[in-house]
Structure 1
Amino acid sequence: MLIRVKLYRNHESLFKEFDVALEPNHTVLDILYTLKENYDPTLSFRSMCRAGICGTCGVKVNSKPVLACKTKVGELEHPITIEPLDNLPIIKDLVVDHSVLMERLKKLRVWYEPLGSNLQTFKTNPMVDKSFECIACGLCDASCPVFLTNQDFGGPMSFLRIYKLTQDPRHSKREDSLLRVKDGHLQLCTHCKNCSMVCPLGLMPESIIKFEEAELIKKGLISQNLSNSFDFF
């Protein structure tokens, strides 16, 4: 079938339109390779594993952040509009600067600092398991409305990934990690659930933020957040 594709080109600051022959089981990543190979070799985008594991092919399709390799044409309304992710600086076309995501992780020190003793295992719960499974694709941060007004916000990706450190007895600075959650201005979260709706692995970052928020409230580190939430999607 012939599908109209509207593609953002940042060097021209406009959308270019193409009619592309595709099948319903083709993915958005297939669209991008078809465009690059047959229509415009200057097009820039990221991809690597093509299996929804590496998280590098994030784009915005019909206004929603998705992994291009996991999103099938048959699931989308036509025409298909493809843009770069929001909340991240554009390098070229659909390529955004992921170093912003890494800087947020560094700021919250999202890494293990092991105990002196050798503790091999610990009992997890489903939410801790979700924290371990994050692939750092950044779709959740790209969907977060808080970044529109505050770039100091830690972001759902960092809060999701740091949760395991606050729960894992193999980490020597669990309390410090929890304090860093506070320093990341967790209380600014509007609980709009955008991050959970766009997560390609269904990891529910907003639910984990609620667990962290409850722990901070319990310890008297923040007050109850009574702000109104709002949705984008």
Structure 2
Amino acid sequence: MLVRVKLYRNHESLFKEFDLVLEPSHTVLDLLYTLKEKYDPTLSFRSMCRAGICGTCGVKVNAKPVLACKTKIAELEEPITIEPLDNLPLIKDLVVDHSVLIERLKRLKVWYEPIGNNLQVFRTNPLVDKSFECIACGLCDASCPVFLTNQEFGGPMSFLRIYKLTQDLRNSRREDSLLRVKDGHVQLCTHCKNCSIICPLGLMPESIIKFEEVDLTKRGLISQNLPNSFDFF
């Protein structure tokens, strides 16, 4: 099949157009490799596992953040417009600086401080399981409108990943982890659901944020965020 592609090239500050012959089963990542190998070896993008596990190949395709390795070109409208992710500093072409995501995790101390003894039995629930499954691709943060006005916001990726720490009995600082959610200004979430719509694994970070807000509200640590809520339900 013949595919028309519009590709952002930041060193020229423009979109370059290409016509490629590809198979319907090819992914956006296959498309990018074809461009690099046959048309422009200077093109820069990230990829590793090609299996939707490492989370490094995030790009914006037709205005939507996606994993390039999981997105089939046959499912996309033409022209296929490929850009770098929003809300992350641009390095070159489609490569953005992921260190911003790591700094948010560090700021909220999203790591375990284990208890002194091993638990012989540990049970989770579906919400905690979602928190464990996050691959830190950052697509949710790239889709979050709050970052347009406040860079101190913790972001849906951090709030999703920290949820397990607030619930996991193996973490000795569960209460402190919940306080870190408050420090990340979780109440600024607009509940637009962009993060849940975008998440390639369907982990529903916006739902996790609601549970964290409820916990903090019950403790009197934040006020209920009704004015800024754009929840659909």
Name the TM-score class by shorter chain.
over 0.9
Cα RMSD between the aligned structures? Answer: 1.0
Q: Does 1:118 find its partner at 2:140?
A: no
What does residue 40 of structure 1 align with? 40
The 5 A counterparts of 1:190-229 are 190-229=190-229
Q: How many residues align?
A: 231
Distance in 1 (alpha carbons) for counterparts of 2:15 and 2:78: 15
Name the aligned partner's letter for residue 117 of structure 2.
S
Residue deviations 1:178-211, cap 9 Å, x none?
0000000000000000000010000000000000
Q: Does 1:145 find its partner at 2:145?
A: yes
What does residue 63 of structure 2 align with? 63
Distance in 2 (alpha carbons) for counterparts of 1:229 and 1:42: 44
The 5 A counterparts of 1:1-233 are 1-229=1-229
Identical residues among aligned pairs (%): 87
Runs (4 or more) in structure 1 with deviation over 6 Å come to none
Cα deviation, residue 122, structure 1: 1.8
Cα deviation, residue 23, structure 1: 1.8
Task: Give the gaps of 5 or more residues in structure 2.
Answer: none
Name the aligned partner's letter for residue 54 of structure 1.
C
Q: TM-score, normalised by structure 1?
A: 0.97
Q: TM-score, normalised by structure 2?
A: 0.97
Cα deviation, residue 226, structure 1: 1.3
Residue deviations 1:18-63, cap 9 Å, x none?
0010122110000100000000000000000000000000000000
Distance in 1 (alpha carbons) for counterparts of 2:227 and 2:96: 31
Cα deviation, residue 222, structure 1: 0.3
Name the aligned partner's letter for residue 226 of structure 1.
L
Task: Give the gaps of 5 or more residues in structure 1.
Answer: none
